[in-house]
Amino acid sequence: MTVLEERSPVTGRPGSAGRVGAGVFRPGQLWSSLPEALRKLNPKHQLKNPVMFVVWVGSLLTTVFAATDPSVFTILIAVWLWFTVLFANLAEAVAEGRGKAQAETLRRTKKETLARRLTEDGSEQQVPGADLRVGDLVVVEAGQVIPGDGDVVEGIASVDESAITGESAPVIRESGGDRSAVTGGTTVLSDRIVVRISTGPGESFVDRMIALVEGASRQKTPNEIALTILLATLTIIFLLAVVALQPMAAYSGSEQSVVVLAALVVCLIPTTIGALLSAIGIAGMDRLVQRNVLATSGRAVEAAGDVSTLLLDKTGTITFGNRRATELIPVGESTVDDLARAARLSSLADGTPEGRSIVELIAERHGLAAAADDGEKLAEFVPFTAQTRMSGVDFDGREIRKGATSAVRQWVRDRGGDVPDETERVVDEISQQGGTPLVVAEAAGGTAKVCGVTCLSDVVKPGMRERFGELRAMGIKTVMITGDNPLTAQAIARDAGVDDFLAEAKPEDKMALIRQEQEGGRLVAMTGDGTNDAPALAQADVGVAMNTGTMAAKEAGTMVDLDSNPTKLIEIVEIGKQLLITRGALSTFSVANDLAKYFAILPAMFTGIFAQLGALNVLQLATPRSAILSAVVFNALIIVALIPLALRGVRYRPSSASALLRRNLLVYGLGGIVSPFLGIWVIDLLVRHIPGIG
């Protein structure tokens, strides 16, 4: 098993080990990525990009002519066509290089560690971490490194996860609940825990991080594939148009050379966006990594830009998730002591944070022992399930249950008991105050009764209302999902500022809600951290699992938030929208800047036989050769100039689609027309002085 010795090579945060490759674009990255760009000149790689493959073929043809019939013009055209292909490769290499640098930093920090594996007889056996298999139980104590990904099945400990998240503050990991997952390579700071290993060698979270940040698993998204097909179609159309141009030129007595025709094709096809398309997609995932989010594919990043409905799990997502028992309220003929004894028995074997807090409250306020005696250890514990929504214990002829109001009410009535009217009143009061009521009931001697209600209090995370307001401004509907009763859910939803909520939700209810939204043509994103969230995370178009959550949730989601901050989805949506806007903006620019090339190359080709075309030489370019060479040079240089924008992305501001379109046309459409006129004119002023060109 491999572990990390330095802090957050992936995130590139200040003070972390991995500043290399992350952050803003630096000119030095062009030089360091040049060897990889040269390797990408391989025709097998160029075939993946139809637009640049045509440029590659044109470069090869002009090189042949430059070798067989050399001239200054032919040689310069060949050189700059190769530069065009090289600069396109450079854009992709720079984008990939940043992720590979981060992955290399991770690899340098890996080392082997020993694990204390438990055998069937309970003894410990030291084995290399690489020998651990799924299901193995390992003991980890203070100061030791967790040897593999897994879930805490026994104990509670403070864990340093700075090697993964970059955060120096330790976190609590404990058995039960949704904060039991631990990651290999993190360090236990206190106490002792037993971890059940959930991944095999080479499949750990760290290994996945390495594969993701270096882009090894990136696939083209549907929109990217569609745009590639469109660009290929435009390339074929322009190629056929140029081929058809030669017979007409020959008929007019102005037959053009293959070098000039190759230059014309390269300048007319959408080389700019064709060269930058891959870099835009890679950079989108890189921006997520810089924000401590790992995406399993570019498809998820792109889908995030089109999300219209956001489902949020309440516990651990909207709220802190550390609900604690704060009050015992008896009902009917039961006294508070009766309720305390019943609630204690039902919670002694309950390993969840809520169950432990009930035992702690009763021990503190009512003086009952916090640990089970020898007789109580023989009791049969009934665990909580999403279907029964109750837990409890069967002991000495008594059945004791605690859980959701509706579930316990039905349990009591099935055993011939009655539920006091005041139970509903107490439950409603707790719920209206934002607390969570757990009803405690007991059955013995053929009768059943409700003993009372335990109040659990939860706290909404600060800043949630403001962040949800930002989502609303983006046109995204927020829905809180919780297993609490409707009144509790309504109180939490009101405090958090969500648009809607789904109460008493079972896993199948979450799935049904997601499918209902998707049937309406909407893309759905969901954040969650529990095992019961896993099916819904898998069904959602964008499933963001919290790093503090269970391993099942992280495996099911399409993204993992290392900071475990549910409001991070706002940034994820912005990055997704930024990816789409950047792609659209550069596509607009690429098509628009062809207009200037028409005015540069076409008059230059035919002015000799059609003097009237001289009126189209609005740039007053010196000679036909200088005009063609200037257009080719500009076509290559503009790719390099746009690499920083492709990697950084066009800034996203929440606004309507029509406003975004107007801005896109005004800035990148008009800019795509004006900049080539200026650029080609300046280049012509320089190349006209080259012998054989001017």
What distance in Å separates the CA atoms of residue 314 and residue 168, rounded to the nearest whole number? 26
Ranges 88-97, 316-325, 419-428, 460-469: which has the least confidence: 316-325
pLDDT-derived band of residue 611, with 50, 70 and 90 as boundaries?
Answer: low
The number of helices, as runs of H, and strands, as runs of E, in the chain is 25, 21
Q: If you search the block for the tokens 């549907």, which residue do you land on?
A: 222
What distance in Å separates the CA atoms of residue 293 and residue 282, rounded to the nearest whole number? 14
Give the per-residue pLDDT at 633. Answer: 93
pLDDT-derived band of residue 87, with 50, 70 and 90 as boundaries?
Answer: very high
- Which residue type occupies 633? V
Q: Is 384 annotated as a binding residue?
A: yes
The pairing of strands 192-197 and 137-141 is antiparallel
**Residue 658: Cβ-neighbour burial (10 angstroms; 0-12, 13-18, 19+):** exposed
Q: Is 386 annotated as a binding residue?
A: yes
pLDDT-derived band of residue 17, with 50, 70 and 90 as boundaries?
Answer: very low
Q: Is 533 annotated as a binding residue?
A: yes
Question: Per-residue pLDDT tens for 308-367?
Answer: 898 887 766 687 666 788 889 999 888 999 899 899 998 888 877 788 889 988 998 888
Q: What is the pTM of this model?
A: 0.65
pLDDT-derived band of residue 614, with 50, 70 and 90 as boundaries?
Answer: low
Q: Is 428 annotated as a binding residue?
A: no
What is the rounded (10 degree) CA torsion for 646, 647, 650, 651? Answer: -170
Mean pLDDT of 480-495: 82
Q: What angle do CA 687, 693, 694 make, to 5 degrees?
A: 75
Q: Is 391 annotated as a binding residue?
A: yes
313 as an active site residue: the answer is yes
Q: Is 350 annotated as a binding residue?
A: yes
Q: Is 594 annotated as a binding residue?
A: no
Write a three-state SS string for 658-684. Answer: HHHHHHHHHHHHHHHHHHHHHHHHHHH
What distance in Å separates the CA atoms of residue 471 and residue 498, rounded to the nearest whole number? 10
Rounded to the nearest 10 degrees, what angle do helices 670-687 and 624-648 cross at? 130
What is the rounded (10 degree) CA torsion for 227, 233, 239, 242? Answer: -100
Give the per-residue pLDDT at 607. Answer: 62
Number of residues written out for the chain: 694
Instruction: Give me 612's structure tokens.
Output: 């009237």
What distance in Å separates the CA atoms of residue 18 and residue 7, rounded to the nearest whole number? 7
Mean pLDDT of 628-632: 89
What distance in Å separates the CA atoms of residue 338 and residue 326, rounded to the nearest whole number? 17
Q: Is 87 annotated as a binding residue?
A: no
Q: Is 529 annotated as a binding residue?
A: yes
Q: With pLDDT > 90 as the criterion, what percentage of the chain qualifies?
A: 13
Residue 613 is given by DSSP the state: G
Give the per-residue pLDDT at 408. Answer: 92
Which residue is catalytic, options 149, 151, 160, 313? 313
**Which of 654, 644, 671 is closest to 585 using CA atoms?**
671
Give the per-residue pLDDT at 59. Answer: 93
Whole-number average pLDDT of the chain: 81
Ranges 102-116, 229-243, 536-550, 670-684: which has the least confidence: 102-116
Give the per-residue pLDDT at 2. Answer: 38
